[in-house]
Amino acid sequence: MFENLSERLEKSFKLLKGESKITELNIAETLKDIRRALLDADVNYKTAKQFTETVKEKAMGQNVLSAVKPGEMMVKLVHDELAVLMGGEKVDINLNGNPAIILIAGLQGSGKTTFTGKLANMLKTKKRKNPLLVAGDVYRPAAINQLQVLGEQIGAKVYTEEGCKDPVKLATDGIKEAKKGAHDVVIIDTAGRLAIDEEMMNEISAVKKATSPDEILFVVDSMTGQDAVNTAKEFNDRLDFDGVVLTKLDGDTRGGAALSIRSVVDKPIKFVGMGEKMEALDVFHPSRMADRILGMGDIVSLVEKAQEQFDEEEARKLQKKIAKNQFNFDDFLKQIQQIKKMGNLKDLAGMIPGMGKMLKNVDIDDDAFKGIEAIIRSMTPLEREQPGVINGSRKKRIAAGSGTSIQEVNRLIKQFDDTRKVMKMMTTGNKMGKMMGKMP
């Protein structure tokens, strides 16, 4: 699913590698690439253009966050915009009626009957509902049979009327039956056609009028790309449905339907079909889908955490100190605290794509900083300010005060000297970012 789009977006972020901050110039190529990737994923032109314009605007308005690289920042911005494009928040179906009446609409072959079964299964197992399925595709005996088989499989009752060719009667009778049988949900499958025609639209509108559904779900095959979007528009103009069900997302879909349907019909995607099995139905979460499209681990939450925690003022002061070679043990201590604020070290590392796996068996001790902190805290202000004064007897006192050994004190001082050297060497670039990478 969306593999091509994911790869293309990842490549476009790589264009920003080595850049120390976002500028209009250096993101231009990335934005162009993102737009091309969206167009190739079958997102319509207007949506793609609007998308990159919004990302650009937001990127230019970002504060320079030294802890975050421009590439990472762009991943986050694109992620958030993808989620907005797909609807922002998750929207639940309305099950308030008694019984709740759900009408299923869509073209033939879109996956309506399969979805009817899947939804009933989900409501039964996850919401403890007792749904009644109405086999409303009155023209195709095979469809009625198909629903009966699915009903049996998931243990849900299916309502049919032998020889009935009137979908309105069948639907209203089905609801009566549900009331008698203490069913709290009625799911009405309807007849589709291969293409939109007037008769089908009239028929389903009549069913809608007669049943006053609590929820009308429009089912569409995501593999049909822009056609899916156009069909959605026509159905919505006639039916004013409540939500979209995108099926066959497990297939080789480019993603265009998922990405543009919301902006075209302004109705939320509520479910996605991920296979032919009855369990293969997911509630749609725009943000999680954006995660999947980007395939970027949790880099997004990493950036969020850094955004929350990073004190820009401090960072600027520190950069000045580094430039003047005045970085001392107090600053070192502050840096450690900064990193610690960002959360559990292993969790943090796990958010960086690829790192999680690498570190699975490595022991990153959250207490790794404890010894270091203790040592620094046992130094006098003079020693912190001017580490050069720390001689043998001072080391002994520091080790005793911090409950560590002279070797550990030596190691820290060496580490500190190395860090200082590296900092001195860095005359350009993202100083804070690099320095944080150097921390033990």
Q: Is 168 exposed, middle or buried (0-12, 13-18, 19+ CB in 10 A)?
A: middle
Binding piece for ligand GDP, criterion CB under 6 A, among 8-16, 243-251, 379-387, 396-404: 243-251
Contact criterion met (CB below 8 Å) for 230 and 207: no
Which residue's C-beta sits nearest to ligand GDP?
Answer: 273
Q: Which has the closest alpha carbon to 40: 226, 295, 272, 249?
A: 226
Please state the closest distance from residue 119 (CB atom) to ligand GDP, in A: 12
- Please say which residue, 78 or 200, places its beta carbon nearer to ligand GDP: 200
CB neighbour list of residue 228: distance below 8 Å, 6 or more residues apart? 220, 221, 222, 246, 256, 257, 261
Output the six-digit token pair for 408: 């550990």
Please state the closest distance from residue 139 (CB atom) to ligand GDP, in A: 11
Contact criterion met (CB below 8 Å) for 368 and 345: yes
Output the six-digit token pair for 38: 């969206």
Output the six-digit token pair for 107: 């073209």
**Footprint on residues 265-294 left by ligand GDP (CB under 6 A):** 273-276, 280
Tokens 């820290």, located at residue: 412
Please state the closest distance from residue 266 (CB atom) to ligand GDP, in A: 24
Please state the closest distance from residue 247 (CB atom) to ligand GDP, in A: 4
Calpha distance 49→256 (Å, rounded)? 14
- Please say which residue, 110 or 335, places its beta carbon nearer to ligand GDP: 110
Calpha distance 206→168 (Å, rounded)? 7
Q: Does 160 bind ligand GDP (CB under 6 A)?
A: no
Q: Does 110 bind ligand GDP (CB under 6 A)?
A: yes
Binding piece for ligand GDP, criterion CB under 6 A, among 101-109, 301-309, 341-349, 397-405: 101-109
- Please say which residue, 64 or 223, places its beta carbon nearer to ligand GDP: 223
Q: Which has the closest alpha carbon to 270: 118, 147, 150, 48?
A: 118
Q: Which residues of 212-238 are buried (b: 16+ CB within 10 A; e: fewer)?
A: ebbbbbbbbbbbbbebbbebbeebbeb
Taking CB under 6 A as the criterion, the residue among 70, 71, 106, 167 binding ligand GDP is: 106
Q: Does 255 bind ligand GDP (CB under 6 A)?
A: no
Taking CB under 6 A as the criterion, the residue among 88, 181, 251, 440 binding ligand GDP is: 251
Please state the closest distance from residue 138 (CB atom) to ligand GDP, in A: 13
Q: Which has the closest alpha carbon to 123: 39, 27, 187?
A: 187
Q: Which has the closest alpha carbon to 372: 318, 400, 413?
A: 413
Total residues binding ligand GDP (CB under 6 A) = 19
Q: Does 12 bind ligand GDP (CB under 6 A)?
A: no
Please state the closest distance from residue 254 (CB atom) to ligand GDP, in A: 15
Q: Does 113 bind ligand GDP (CB under 6 A)?
A: yes
The CA–CA distances, whole Å, from 69 to 412, 423, 430 equal 28, 18, 8
Q: Does 190 bind ligand GDP (CB under 6 A)?
A: no
Q: Does 248 bind ligand GDP (CB under 6 A)?
A: yes
Q: Does 114 bind ligand GDP (CB under 6 A)?
A: yes
Q: Which segments of 184-333 are extended strands (E)?
A: 185-190, 215-221, 243-247, 269-273, 281-283
Annotated binding site for GTP: which residue ranges? Answer: 106-113, 189-193, 247-250
Taking CB under 6 A as the criterion, the residue among 70, 71, 87, 111 binding ligand GDP is: 111
Taking CB under 6 A as the criterion, the residue among 28, 32, 46, 109 binding ligand GDP is: 109
Please state the closest distance from residue 355 (CB atom) to ligand GDP, in A: 33
Q: Does 253 bind ligand GDP (CB under 6 A)?
A: no
Q: Is 421 exposed, middle or buried (0-12, 13-18, 19+ CB in 10 A)?
A: exposed
Binding site for ligand GDP (CB under 6 A): 106, 108-114, 143, 192, 247-248, 250-251, 273-276, 280
